[in-house]
Structure 1
């Protein structure tokens, strides 16, 4: 009447063989994908940091030029320059600067192009007025 299940419980089921290995491989796969995602995020962060550094360096170059012009307000026309290559110490790859003066309005344009990247520019304008 009642079936004896004791013999069935002693033998491991065949469908469970290798399941621990499969679970381990899936865990390694998920872990590996997570590590690859972190590496991708790190690369993106480094690229953004480099671009930010170039923008800050361009701002510094332009602001130094304007500061010199503020110190010598009477000779603004002497600061007009065509597109001029920047020294390597400026920290901008293929960097150039152009200064234009129209009355008291001064425009400084700084351009650069990182290796393998797109060309970028930074433009600042200011009015330099007053007596020196």
Structure 2
């Protein structure tokens, strides 16, 4: 009698049990890291977009007041920040636009009527990125 030995396959099946669950968990983990990366990228893009908007607003406001200075050369000295600017409506309006349009916005203008040299610094500050400034120098003749 020649009997074949019986080979049991149950131990091999037991070793394979749960592999699909581990593969699914690894897949979910990889997917979660991808989503976290996308959310981080979105936050960085939003921050950069806000920063670019404030820089563009500062450039626009400074160009606007320089245009007013060119049109009103006779009153160039009235654009100096301080009492002269407070009394001159176009300058005080510009200061208000900077203060309301930029977060913690401030402006400093130095205009010399004799030479026509104008220096302007617009500053703003955000909690996420700190203080920024936009400096403009021009000669109005």
TM-score by length of 1: 0.82
1:92 and 2:83 are equivalent in the alignment: no
TM superposition outliers: structure 1 runs of 4+ over 6 Å: none
1:68 and 2:105 are equivalent in the alignment: no
Higher relative contact order (CA 8 A, sep 6+): 1
Give 5+ residue unaligned stretches, structure 2.
86-91
Tell me what 1:128 maps to.
140
Which has the larger displacement, 98-107 or 30-39? Answer: 98-107
Query: Residue 86 of structure 1 contacts residue 97 of structure 1 at CA under 8 Å; is this kept in 2?
Result: no
Give 5+ residue unaligned stretches, structure 1.
none
Query: Residue 61 of structure 1 contacts residue 90 of structure 1 at CA under 8 Å; is this kept in 2?
Result: no
Which of 105, 108, 120 aligns to 1:108? It is: 120
Q: Per residue, is there more helix in 1 or in 2? A: 2
CA distance in 2, matches of 1:79, 1:69: 8
Q: How many residues align?
A: 125
RMSD (CA atoms): 2.4
Tell me what 1:24 maps to.
24
